[in-house]
Amino acid sequence: MTPDPLLSSSLVADRLRLSPAGAWTAAHAHALEQLIDAAAPQAAHAKAISIDMAGVEELDTLGAWLLERLLRSSNLSAPNAQFIGLPSHYRGLIDEIHQVNLHKPPPPAKPNRLLAAVDGVGRATTQLGTDAVAFLDMCGQIGVAVARIFMHPRRFRLTSAVYHLFRVGWQAVPIMVLITFLIGAIIAQQGIFHFRKFGADTYVVDMVGILVLREIGVLIVSIMSAGRSGSAYTAELGSMKMREEIDALRTMGFDPVEILILPRVVALVCALPILAFLGSMAALYGGGLVAWLYGGMSPATFIARLREAISVTHFEVGMIKAPFMALAIGIVACSEGLKVKGSAESLGLQTTTSVVKSIFLVIVLDGVFAIFFASIGM
C-alpha cells in the first residue's frame, strides 16, 4: 500500500514552511482535502509560504492542484509563495497546474423560484402553439406529398408501405386480438354481475355489442397502436435524424416526407381499421364466451340477441373513426421523430411525448366523433 499523505508545517517569523509527504494522489482525496483545509488558516496569515516537495512520493493532478490552491489562497506572489525541493519529474505537472483555473468560472445564476415558475408556464404555453403549428405543418407536408403521388402514382413507395403494413398490421394482430378479447370478456362479466341484481341479464348483450363496436374496439386498438407502432416510428425517424440520414436524403433531392413518412402513415391508416375490426370481433367473442360460461346464456341466444341489439350503423361508426385515429397517431409520431436532436435523452423524450400526445389526441378525437355522430343521428 502507498504511504498515507502527511502535511507538517513550521511557522518561523510569519514564514510558513509546509512539508507534504507520502502519496498526494486521488486515492487519498478525502484525507488530502482535510489536510489542506487544516493548513488554510495558517497560510492566510503568513507573509511567505514555501512548500517543500522533497518528501512527496507520489503526485497527481489532484494533489498538485490542492497545493497550488493553498498557495493561491494566501494571495502572495512568486518569490514569497513557491515550491521548493521539487523533483524534476513533477516540474511539468506543477507548471501545468499553475496555468489552470486562473479565471473563476462565472457562478451559475441563481434562479428566482417564482420567476422560474412563471417562466415555465409561459414556455409551456408557447410550446402548445409551436406544437400545434408543427402538427399542422406535418399535415400539410403529408397533404402535399399525397397530392404529388396522385399526379405521379409511380413515385409511391409501395414496397416500403407494404413492409410497414406487415409490421404495424400483421405482426400486431396477436396482441391486439388477445387484449380486446380480454376486455370484451371483462365487460361482459361485469355487466352480468351487476345487471343480474335487477334481472336485466339479457341487456348485457346490448351493452357489450354497442360498446365494443362503437367505442371500445377502435379505442383500445388505437391506444395500443400508439404505444406499439407510433413509438417505433418516432424512435426510427429520431435515430435517422440523429445520424443525419434524413439530411442525406434531403441533399440528394428526395423528400423525406414522401420517402419515409408517407409509407408509414399510409400503412398505419390501412392497418388500423383492419385491427379495429379484428379487435371488435375478438371482444364480441370474449363477451359471448363469458356470457355462456359465466352467465349461462347459450351462444345461440347470445347471437340472436346481438342481432336485435345492434345495427350496421354501430359497426360503421366504429370503422369510420379508425382511419382518422391512425392518421393522428401517424402524424404525431412522425413529427415528434423529426424533432429529435443529437442526444440519446432527446430521443427518449420525444418517444414518450409521441405516445402521450397521440393517446391524448385519440381520446379527444373520439369525443369529437361522439358529438358529431350524435348530432347527425347515427
14, 78, 79, 89: which one binds other proteins (CB under 8 A): 89
Give me the least distance between CB of 297 and other proteins, in Å please: 56
- Binding of residue 134 to other proteins (CB under 8 A): no
Binding mask 341-370 for other proteins (x = CB under 8 A): xxxxx-------------------------
Q: Which is nearer to other proteins, 1 or 371 (CB)?
A: 1
Of the candidates 10, 41, 77, 95, which one interacts with other proteins according to CB under 8 A?
A: 95
Asked if 117 interacts with other proteins (CB under 8 A), we say no
Q: Please tell me the distance from the alpha carbon of residue 295 to that of residue 122, in angstroms, as a whole number.
A: 55
- Which member of 92, 174, 199, 367 binds other proteins (CB under 8 A)? 92
Q: Scanning residues 36 to 75, which ones bind other proteins (CB under 8 A)?
A: 58, 60-62, 65-66, 69
Interface with other proteins: number of residues (CB under 8 A):
32
Binding window for other proteins (CB under 8 A); candidates: 21-29, 152-160, 206-214, 363-371: 21-29
Question: What minimum distance in Å lies between the beta carbon of 65 and other proteins?
Answer: 6
- Answer for which of 11, 15, 33, 296 binds other proteins (CB under 8 A) is 33
Residue 97 in the binding site for other proteins (CB under 8 A)? yes
Quick one: 79 or 92, whose CB is closer to other proteins?
92
For residue 245, the minimal CB distance to other proteins (Å) is: 16
Q: Is 17 helix (H, G, I), strand (E, B) or coil?
A: strand
Among 105, 129, 174, 377, binds other proteins (CB under 8 A): 105
Provide the binding-site residues for other proteins, judged by CB under 8 A: 1-2, 23, 25-27, 29-30, 33, 58, 60-62, 65-66, 69, 89, 92-93, 95-97, 99-101, 103, 105, 341-345
